[in-house]
């Protein structure tokens, strides 16, 4: 007897209907579901996904109907919401936060005929594909700009949580800046939150107080940018073009453009050609964008940034090409090598010049 | 002509049961109005929030799973609230209980055996109990306000959770993400109805409701809790210790919260994550009041809240109603409940003014008198408790 | 500078809550009222272009929200803990709904009150370079201190917080005074919220205050209900909140940040215990009627 069934008999009086195998039959538009971890008003991660959803809806018109649930807590709430979307007849469901991974896999098992797309995770199944963006490519572009624009050669980096995603960004940024200025250093302050405007602003100010004259961030709010504007130093936007928040400080931004991917996957679903993929797209496919440069940037800086951007897009430049030494001075990647994707996915060490 | 509140000689039984219904009805009306003003279909929104989850049998399991921790925590809190012991830090006890159980799970992750889950549950109960013992100790020893200490300890617990998730307890194979490894088969709560998500915590919550009901209405301990809350001085004459009651109620509510915590971790979560704290401990305070501090009322209130959560998600997908509207809606429900509560003790009278030139007090001398007398101990629920326990 | 920024909004909100608690009322809805103040300040400033108008509106909105609490707890004698929590949930929801139209927008924020020559001067800015709200928070601290200890109205308010029945029996209107105190608390919470949306980060985003209302609540207790200690406490809490960021920025690793974040709450519990133990404790301890309902309409 399976341990999980011990109590079945005694509680059978509750007689709840089993949950498997019921998904509303439908004609008409394809229903596509989206699950967001934050409110769409966060102006960061979830906001960017919702903008992409709107683009997809616009693109397909009445061929599809998009449904979303915002501010879904990672854990059982997510599982319930995902299952609900599946039961309501959504045939393709995008779950847009790492913390939805286990819930997505669990629900996917119960709905074999529904397709799931999970962002930033690493578990797949026959009906679960994963997708992520190579944001670190964008970090290399802004790192190049930082290396040229910084007088002190010292950048401040407002970090959220030290997961590989963020570590990659810090390293790519620093490596790119060091190609311009070999002595370039990056000082990281962790705020241990993706979203806490007041703390993010305070972190940026603390970094500026320490002599950092350019601020980069891997948190969701425009607060560090506004702090930079107030203090008269440069900074970069996150997730979307944030020039309105800091017209003088905002040099450019790494933008999350999930739109092309969503349109691509929905098209495949419509054509009956959806397959579980493992997609990690970057600048080349337009998933990672670079916002228009601020006019205060000198022409040679714009040119250098474009060169890196285009080089990455064409594959000529890899942000993690050797030689790369870590903080202790040990050579991690010899000249001529690059860090392979499998290692990038679990990256947990910092390159020389990063102070964290 | 004007409306006037007159004190009732005894709490109205009809109102006691009628007011929650009235509160929900008022919330529905206000909701229709507000949602319509916001440009949504108000009626459809209310249907999605309040009716759709109940009308769809496939949603029932969600309701039970969502309600179980709320009911379990609220039951413990209600015992204390009846005795005028204000533990508002159940969220912290819930977290620490879950952490204690997780500690056992992580220590036994590569072991097998039927004893593991009970050990986790025991640790969970103990964790919640110990976290509640801090305010209990400070209250009984130094007379420190338990509202404030239990609240402060909640935020300490949240930080403790963050620390353990980001540091020592992080899954070594989890790509650096701050969360523990998944619990093993031996560490997860069994489901009680096959093919659903309804886990052991659900029947336990209902069982606890009945147990608390019996204890409160049929035992000396129940009487002690009520009498200390209603008439502290009489309780002292009767030989009931106020200190003992503080210990008893705080430890009980802490243990209940800890139990809910480990059930939630070992059941729906099956691991511990920094997102574990979803304010069940605070929501349970609302559940306790919505249920009039009565065990069966709490079960109902827990289900109503669960309906509004699940229904809020329905309304998002069906109508695009923002999640924030659900929160506002729940707050309104509580506002209305707290507002109509007064009808249990007071009667609404339409008064035709006879002689407005006389001062109010001379006109209605009995109001003043009654008001002086109405301040018995300290909670507005005293009167109805009396009738509840009758 | 960051220290002042972290301290000022919690000081503003806590000053209001202190007066509320001194009158014998415990309003746990601070976070909700701050959020309503924050979104109102931003919305009005964005719409009218006047930050001063935004501040006034934030105070009015905070006070209006507090009136829901006052009506339920004072007139209808509902439980203060439950009502306060409901107010917080309400505030989170309402601010998010109102704020939907303002996400991604920005305003120029509050102007300095001192001439640029002083405010932008590298030395002058240490004294003159702050937001007007910073100076206002200091003035309000002095005012609240004076009001509670030196003014007749303040003495009545404290008497009501210590013994509402005695105050009532000698003819003071307990309910009216408490209504006014709660309204003041709401207005100050609104102002504290406005600091986030107009000064700290001139923008609106959901839950902009990120739980600072609870820190303000702790601060009142930490300061053992004394305005001048509140001022010191606010800067101490502000220091703890920013210390780690500064240490990190300077490349120094101190204790895990989570333990620092616990510190204000632990310190509050310790202070609360100490003032209860101390022989002179009675004088400093919580107002005797804190959180207890009172009914007298006569």
Instruction: Please name the residues in contact with C271: beta carbons below 8 A apart, sequence gap of 6 or more.
Output: C221, C222, C224
Higher-confidence position of B239 and C69:
C69
Integer Cα distance of C133 and C110 in angstroms: 9
Residue A68, strand partner residues: A34
Integer Cα distance of C32 and C15 in angstroms: 16
What is the pLDDT at residue C153?
A: 94
Integer Cα distance of A354 and B308 in angstroms: 48
Mean pLDDT lowest for which of A261-270, A293-302, B224-233, C156-165? B224-233
Report pTM.
0.87
Q: How far is A215 from chain C (nearest CA, A)?
A: 12
For the cut 90, the answer to whether the pLDDT of residue B1 exceeds it is no
Q: Is B366 an interface residue toward C (CB < 8 Å)? A: no
- Kindly state the DSSP code that residue A210 receives in the 8-state scheme: T
Mean pLDDT lowest for which of A129-143, B54-68, B172-186? B172-186
Q: Is A198 an interface residue toward B (CB < 8 Å)? A: no
Between chains, do B193 and A16 touch, taking CB under 8 Å as contact? yes
For the cut 60, the answer to whether the pLDDT of residue B372 exceeds it is no
Of B221, B208, B193, residue with least CA distance to B259: B208
Cβ proximity of B31 and B49 under 8 Å: yes
Q: How far is C64 from chain A (nearest CA, A)?
A: 25
For the cut 70, the answer to whether the pLDDT of residue C189 exceeds it is yes
Model confidence pLDDT, tens digit, residues B337-346: 888 888 877 7
Cα torsion for C209, C214, C217, C223, to the nearest 10°?
-90
Retrieve residue C214's tokens. 């609870």
Average pLDDT, stretch A349-353?
93
Give the confidence band of A113 by pLDDT, cuts at 50, 70, 90: very high
Which other chains touch chain A, taking contact as 3+ CB pairs less than 8 Å apart? B, C
Between chains, do B193 and A12 touch, taking CB under 8 Å as contact? yes
For the cut 70, the answer to whether the pLDDT of residue B387 exceeds it is no
Instruction: Please name the residues in contact with B166: beta carbons below 8 A apart, sequence gap of 6 or more.
Output: A161, A192, B178, B274, C258
For the cut 50, the answer to whether the pLDDT of residue B382 exceeds it is no
Chain C residue nearest residue B87, CA to CA: C81
For the cut 80, the answer to whether the pLDDT of residue B371 exceeds it is no
Residue of B186, B191, B269 lying closest to A75 (CB–CB): B269
Model confidence pLDDT, tens digit, residues B285-329: 989 988 888 999 999 999 999 998 899 888 888 888 888 888 888
What is the pLDDT at residue C284?
A: 53
Mean pLDDT lowest for which of A257-266, A289-298, B117-126, B372-381? B372-381
Cβ proximity of B89 and B279 under 8 Å: no
What is the pLDDT at residue C148?
A: 95
The two beta strands, A90-95 and A30-35, are parallel
Higher-confidence position of B13 and B107:
B107
Model confidence pLDDT, tens digit, residues A24-76: 444 689 999 999 998 887 778 898 999 999 999 999 999 999 999 988 888 88
Cβ proximity of C19 and C223 under 8 Å: no
Integer Cα distance of B40 and A230 in angstroms: 40
For the cut 80, the answer to whether the pLDDT of residue C115 exceeds it is no
Instruction: Please name the residues in contact with A68: beta carbons below 8 A apart, sequence gap of 6 or more.
Output: A33, A34, A35, A36, A40, A50, A53, B316, B317
Q: Which residues of C touch B70 (CB under 8 A)?
A: none
Model confidence pLDDT, tens digit, residues B21-59: 888 889 999 999 988 988 888 899 999 988 999 998 888
Chain B residue nearest residue A12, CA to CA: B193
Q: How far is B117 from chain A (nearest CA, A)?
A: 12
Average pLDDT, stretch B247-254?
96
What sign does the CA torsion over B368, B370, B376, B379 have? Answer: negative
Retrieve residue A347's tokens. 């990256």
Model confidence pLDDT, tens digit, residues A184-234: 999 999 988 888 888 899 999 999 999 999 999 999 888 999 999 989 999
Instruction: Give chain B's radius of gyration (CA, Å).
Output: 23
Give the confidence band of A85 by pLDDT, cuts at 50, 70, 90: very high
Preceding omega of A323 cis (within 30 degrees of 0): yes
Of B122, B95, B45, B83, residue with least CA distance to B381: B83
Element (H, E) at A354: strand A354-355
Give the confidence band of A151 by pLDDT, cuts at 50, 70, 90: very high
Q: Is C95 an interface residue toward A (CB < 8 Å)? A: no
What is the pLDDT at residue A346?
A: 84
Element (H, E) at B216: helix B201-218
Tell which of B156, B326, B363 to mutate to test the C interface (max C CBs under 10 Å): B156
* A280 SS3 class: strand
Q: Which residues of B touch C68 (CB under 8 A)?
A: 335
Between chains, do A202 and C205 touch, taking CB under 8 Å as contact? no
What is the pLDDT at residue B359?
A: 44
Higher-confidence position of A309 and B57:
A309
Give the confidence band of A21 by pLDDT, cuts at 50, 70, 90: very low
Average pLDDT, chain C: 88
What is the pLDDT at residue B219?
A: 84
Q: Which residues of C touch A245 (CB under 8 A)?
A: 106, 203
Q: Is B318 an interface residue toward C (CB < 8 Å)? A: no
Higher-confidence position of B12 and B265:
B265
What is the pLDDT at residue B353?
A: 56
What is the pLDDT at residue A3?
A: 39
Residue A115, strand partner residues: A92
Average pLDDT, stretch B65-71?
96
Model confidence pLDDT, tens digit, residues A229-275: 989 999 999 988 999 889 999 999 999 999 999 999 999 999 999 99
Of A223, A169, A229, residue with least CA distance to A198: A223
Integer Cα distance of A113 and B289 in angstroms: 44
Model confidence pLDDT, tens digit, residues C38-89: 999 999 999 999 999 999 999 999 999 999 999 999 998 888 988 999 999 9
The total of other beta-carbon atoms located within 10 Å of residue B365's CB is 11
Give the confidence band of A2 by pLDDT, cuts at 50, 70, 90: very low
Higher-confidence position of A264 and C2:
A264
Cβ proximity of B162 and A332 under 8 Å: no
Average pLDDT, stretch A92-99?
94
Give the confidence band of C297 by pLDDT, cuts at 50, 70, 90: very low
Residue of C205, C209, C248 lying closest to A41 (CB–CB): C205
Chain B residue nearest residue C74, CA to CA: B339
What is the pLDDT at residue A114?
A: 96
- Kindly state the DSSP code that residue A40 receives in the 8-state scheme: G
């Amino acid at each position: 007897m399976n341990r999980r069934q011990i109590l079945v008999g005694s509680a059978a009086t509750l007689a709840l209907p089993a949950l498997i195998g019921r998904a509303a039959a439908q004609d008409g538009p394809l229903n596509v579901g989206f699950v967001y971890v934050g409110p769409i008003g966060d102006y960061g991660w979830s906001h960017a996904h919702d903008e992409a959803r709107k683009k997809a809806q616009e693109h397909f018109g009445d061929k599809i109907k998009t449904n979303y649930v915002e501010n879904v807590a990672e854990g059982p709430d997510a599982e319930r919401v995902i299952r609900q979307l599946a039961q309501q007849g959504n045939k393709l469901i995008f779950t847009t936060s790492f913390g939805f991974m286990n819930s997505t896999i669990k629900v996917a098992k119960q709905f074999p005929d529904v397709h799931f797309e999970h962002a930033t995770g690493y578990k797949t199944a026959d009906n679960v594909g994963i997708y992520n963006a190579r944001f670190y490519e964008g970090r290399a572009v802004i790192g190049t700009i930082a290396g040229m624009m910084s007088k002190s050669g010292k950048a401040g980096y407002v970090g959220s949580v030290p997961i590989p995603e963020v570590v990659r960004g810090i390293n790519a940024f620093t490596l790119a800046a060091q190609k311009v200025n070999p002595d370039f250093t990056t000082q990281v302050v962790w705020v241990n939150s993706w979203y806490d405007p007041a703390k993010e602003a305070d972190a940026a100010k603390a970094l500026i107080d320490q002599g950092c004259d350019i601020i980069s961030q891997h948190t969701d709010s425009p607060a560090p940018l506004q702090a930079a504007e107030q203090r008269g130093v440069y900074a970069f936007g996150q997730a979307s073009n944030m020039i309105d928040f800091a017209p003088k400080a905002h040099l450019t931004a790494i933008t999350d453009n999930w739109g092309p991917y969503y349109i691509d996957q929905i098209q495949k679903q419509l054509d009956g050609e959806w397959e579980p993929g493992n997609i990690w797209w970057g600048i080349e496919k337009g998933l990672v964008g670079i916002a228009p440069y601020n006019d205060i940037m000198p022409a040679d800086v714009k040119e250098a940034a474009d060169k890196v951007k285009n080089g990455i897009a064409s594959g000529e430049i890899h942000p993690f090409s050797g030689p790369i030494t870590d903080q202790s001075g040990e050579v991690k990647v010899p000249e001529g090598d690059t860090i392979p994707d499998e290692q990038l996915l679990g990256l947990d060490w910092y390159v020389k010049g990063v102070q964290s | 002509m004007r409306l006037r509140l007159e004190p009732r000689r005894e709490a109205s039984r009809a109102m006691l049961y009628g007011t929650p219904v009235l509160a929900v009805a008022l919330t529905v009306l206000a909701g229709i109005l507000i949602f319509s003003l916001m440009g949504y279909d108000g009626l459809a929104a209310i249907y999605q929030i309040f009716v759709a989850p109940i009308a769809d049998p496939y949603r029932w399991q969600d309701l039970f799973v969502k309600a179980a921790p709320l009911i379990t925590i609220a039951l413990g809190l209600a015992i204390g609230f009846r005795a005028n012991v204000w533990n508002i830090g159940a969220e912290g006890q819930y977290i620490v209980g879950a952490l204690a159980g997780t500690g056992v799970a992580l220590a036994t992750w590569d072991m097998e055996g039927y004893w593991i889950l009970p050990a986790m549950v025991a640790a969970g109960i103990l964790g919640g109990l110990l976290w509640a013992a801090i305010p209990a100790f400070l209250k009984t020893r130094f007379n420190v306000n338990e509202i404030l200490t239990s609240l402060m300890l909640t935020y300490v617990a949240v930080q403790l959770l963050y620390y353990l998730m980001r540091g020592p307890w992080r899954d070594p194979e989890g790509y650096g993400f701050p969360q523990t490894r998944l619990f093993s088969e031996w560490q997860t709560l069994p489901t009680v109805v096959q093919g659903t998500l309804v886990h052991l915590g659900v029947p336990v919550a209902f069982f606890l409701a009945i147990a608390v009901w019996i204890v409160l209405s049929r035992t000396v301990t129940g009487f002690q809790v009520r009498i200390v809350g209603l008439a502290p001085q009489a309780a002292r004459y009767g030989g009931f210790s106020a200190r003992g009651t503080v210990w008893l109620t705080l430890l009980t509510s802490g243990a209940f919260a800890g139990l809910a915590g480990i059930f939630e971790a070992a059941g729906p979560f099956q691991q511990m994550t920094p997102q574990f704290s979803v304010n069940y401990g605070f929501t349970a305070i609302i559940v306790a009041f919505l249920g009039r501090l009565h065990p069966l009322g709490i079960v109902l209130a827990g289900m109503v809240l669960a309906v509004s959560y699940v229904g809020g998600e329905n309304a998002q997908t069906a109508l695009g109603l923002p999640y924030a509207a659900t929160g506002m809606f729940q707050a309104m429900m509580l506002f209305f409940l707290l507002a109509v509560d007064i009808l249990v003790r007071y009667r609404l009278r339409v008064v035709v003014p006879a002689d407005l030139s006389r001062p109010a007090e001379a006109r209605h001398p009995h109001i003043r008198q009654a008001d002086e007398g109405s301040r018995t101990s300290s909670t507005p629920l005293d009167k109805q408790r009396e009738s509840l326990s009758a | 500078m960051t220290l002042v920024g972290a301290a000022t909004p919690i000081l503003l909100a806590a000053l209001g809550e202190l007066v509320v608690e001194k009158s014998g009322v415990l309003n746990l809805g601070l976070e909700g009222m701050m959020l309503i103040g924050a979104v109102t300040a931003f919305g009005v400033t964005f719409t009218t272009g006047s930050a001063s108008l935004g501040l006034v509106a934030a105070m009015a909105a905070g006070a209006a929200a507090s009136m829901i609490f006052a009506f339920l707890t004072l007139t209808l004698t509902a439980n203060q803990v439950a009502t306060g929590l409901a107010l917080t949930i309400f505030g989170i929801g309402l601010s998010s709904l109102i704020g939907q139209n303002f996400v991604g927008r920005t305003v120029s924020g509050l102007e300095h009150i001192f001439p640029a020559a002083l405010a932008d001067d590298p030395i002058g800015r240490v004294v003159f370079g702050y937001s007007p709200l910073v100076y206002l928070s200091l003035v309000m601290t002095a005012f609240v201190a004076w009001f509670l200890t030196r003014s007749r109205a303040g003495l009545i308010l404290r008497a009501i917080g210590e013994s509402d029945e005695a105050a009532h029996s000698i003819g003071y209107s307990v309910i009216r005074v408490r209504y006014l105190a709660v309204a003041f608390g709401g207005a100050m919470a609104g102002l504290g919220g406005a600091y986030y949306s107009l000064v700290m980060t001139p923008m609106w985003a959901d839950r902009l205050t990120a739980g600072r209302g609870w820190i303000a609540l702790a601060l009142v207790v930490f300061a053992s209900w004394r305005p001048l200690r509140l001022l010191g406490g606010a800067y101490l809490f502000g220091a703890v909140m920013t210390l780690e960021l500064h240490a990190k920025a300077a490349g120094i690793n101190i204790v895990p940040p989570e333990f620092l974040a616990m510190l204000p709450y632990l310190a509050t519990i310790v202070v609360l215990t100490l003032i209860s133990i101390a022989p002179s404790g009675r004088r400093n301890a919580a107002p005797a009627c804190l959180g207890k309902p009172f009914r007298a309409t006569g």
